[in-house]
Amino acid sequence: MTTITIPEGMPQFDDVPRFDVAAVRADFPILDRQVNGHPLVYLDSANTSHKPRQVLDALTEHYALHNANVSRSVHTLGTEATEAYDGARAKIAAFVNAPSVDEVVFTKNSTEAINIVAYAFSNASPRADADPRFRLGPGDEIVISEMEHHSNIVPWQLLAERTGATLRWFPVTDQGRLDESGLDDLVTERTKIVSLVHMSNILGTVNATARITARVREVGALLLLDCSQSVPHLPIDVVDLDADFIVFTGHKMCGPTGVGVLWGRGELLAAMPPVFGGGSMIETVTMAGSTFAAPPARFEAGTPPIAGAVALGAAVDYLTGIGMRAIQWHEKELTAYALDALSAVPDLRIFGPTVPVGRGGTISFALGDIHPHDVGQVLDSLGVQVRVGHHCAKPVCTRFGVPAMTRASFYLYTTTEEIDALVGGLEQVRKVFD
Amino acid sequence: MQLDQLYQEIILDHYKRPHGRGLRDAEDPADQVAEAHHVNPTCGDEVTVRVATDGDVLHDISYDGMGCSISQASASVLHELLRGRGAGEAFAVHEAFVELMSGRGQVTPDEDVLGDGVAFAGVARYPARVKCALLPWMAFKDAAARAGVGASPEVKA
Ligand SMILES: Cc1ncc(COP(=O)(O)O)c(C=O)c1O
């Protein structure tokens, strides 16, 4: 057994922060439902998380009582809506320890946040008066990794095509870790930006970034971390991380769909050209041309996801109330339990780290040569919801020589009984297809 | 149990023991040979279907691919149903299969037309899996068109 659970009654039991999982589950209305005649076993939180009543209430309360557009009215409702929207920004800034509220840009999701940075490079590249850190051309390099989500691949491929820059990749080791052995050859004076996933949505790996950050600073490049999977599950402090940009997405962290965040160092955002043009992002507009607002407004053209941001603020309050350290520890225990339980399933191969260290609660695997679609379908008939497919990370599937994987992912409301249901379900899968 | 409607014995049989799998050259060198490779972008399943025809009869339909039980069994059934058939007949079967799969479980399949294909009636109730079942059939349609036996005008798929 490699479980790391500290039994109740041991002196160490109180050394780690804990919360009452049953009480947390009671906050999530959807967890009461049945699926195909079985209690719901939701193991797909890496895809999207469920929302507690507190978040749903914030959403309806906003629409029911404070609905108005933001930043453009003097009336009472407009003022309330603006205060709520700005208040949400402050909560999110505090959640990731951003030095300034103005460093938090609301976007639609992580994908849009990454694209904003990529297109800012595009827009700056042809302009001699643009900040040189954002100018790219032939000979310049963009570095990503083989374990990225497509959201952190395609925008850079397109940017490289538009500018003539070269895209380079960190490889992944057989254990599913980022291969940093070639760091000094990969990140060089030619590198303009390094964009890496903080926690892999497919392998579960949490990347240690200190060496990479040091190298990025040494060569004068910029560092973006895709924190879509880490912000929901671990305490994140942008000052500690020392990145230049991070992105995350509301729906994976108990918030609603339709709202995400780009955090950038204030000085960098100020130097970055706008991407979308429209209302709210301008300083002044004349027929001869326009000048632009300071960040974050510069990057929030048009009516933003107001209610979504407010509800995301409520999600952050909810997570903070439970405590990110406690959530992290809960998931660490679950991951240790699940790795142990899955390793006892015949013919099961785990992709990614097989020890609960430097990884989060997202575990991808193959069950013999049974196709993940079929695994997922049988599990669904038992109420167990897992994700199957390439998980928007095809290069990882290619790296491990499979077209698709089955993935179970956990969150604060996940229980060991649910992991048992998964393991039991896998027995059933083997019976149907053996 | 619901699952049995999806994973009918016939489907599992075709999956475990596929008929006519593997890409083949035409026996008759005079045949037109063409193939099409289709991918299901949501899951990464792939299939290549190759058609060998003299313009009237589909002498061979061979295929290769990787994917779930539904897509692989569907390719096997496609091969079995359409190989050696006249192009007109083959497209009528194609149309019936597409209609069955688009019917959300409301279409009663005709076994005389669809043979083992009737086993896919249950799949039509699982919208996420309809694409799996159709993957080889869509590749077949493209391959046939490339081999010069396009669908007749009244056939829409
Ligand atoms: C690591 C990672 N990056 C980016 C994304 C994209 O998130 P969204 O679809 O919300 O933009 C996801 C989610 O699927 C993810 O897991």
Tens digit of pLDDT for each residue in A72-94?
778 999 999 999 999 999 999 99
Q: What does the pLDDT read at residue A11?
A: 66
Q: Of the residues A48, A111, A387, which should be mutated to test ligand 1's pocket, given the most ligand atoms within 8 Å of the CB? A: A111
A252 Cα nearest atom in ligand 1? 10
For residues A93-107, average pLDDT: 98
Residues of A labelled catalytic: 392
Tens digit of pLDDT for each residue in A142-178?
999 999 999 999 999 999 999 999 999 999 999 999 9
Which contiguous run of DSSP H or E holds residue B60?
A: strand B58-66
User: B12 CA to chain A: closest CA distance, Å?
Assistant: 8
Tens digit of pLDDT for each residue in B110-150?
999 999 999 999 999 888 899 999 999 999 999 999 999 97
Residue A3 clears pLDDT 60, i.e. is over it: no
- With CA atoms as reference, the chain A residue closest to B13 would be A433
- In this prediction, what percent of chain B has a pLDDT beyond 70? 95
Residue B2 clears pLDDT 80, i.e. is over it: no
For residues A366-386, average pLDDT: 96
For residues B47-67, average pLDDT: 95
Tens digit of pLDDT for each residue in B79-118?
999 999 999 999 999 999 999 999 988 899 999 999 999 9
How many pairs of residues across A and B have Cβ atoms under 8 Å apart?
Answer: 51
Report the distance separating Cα B62 and Cα B75, nearest Å: 9
Cβ within 8 Å, pair A394-B44: yes
Tens digit of pLDDT for each residue in A422-432?
999 999 999 99
User: B19 CA to chain A: closest CA distance, Å?
Assistant: 18
Cβ within 8 Å, pair A373-B7: no
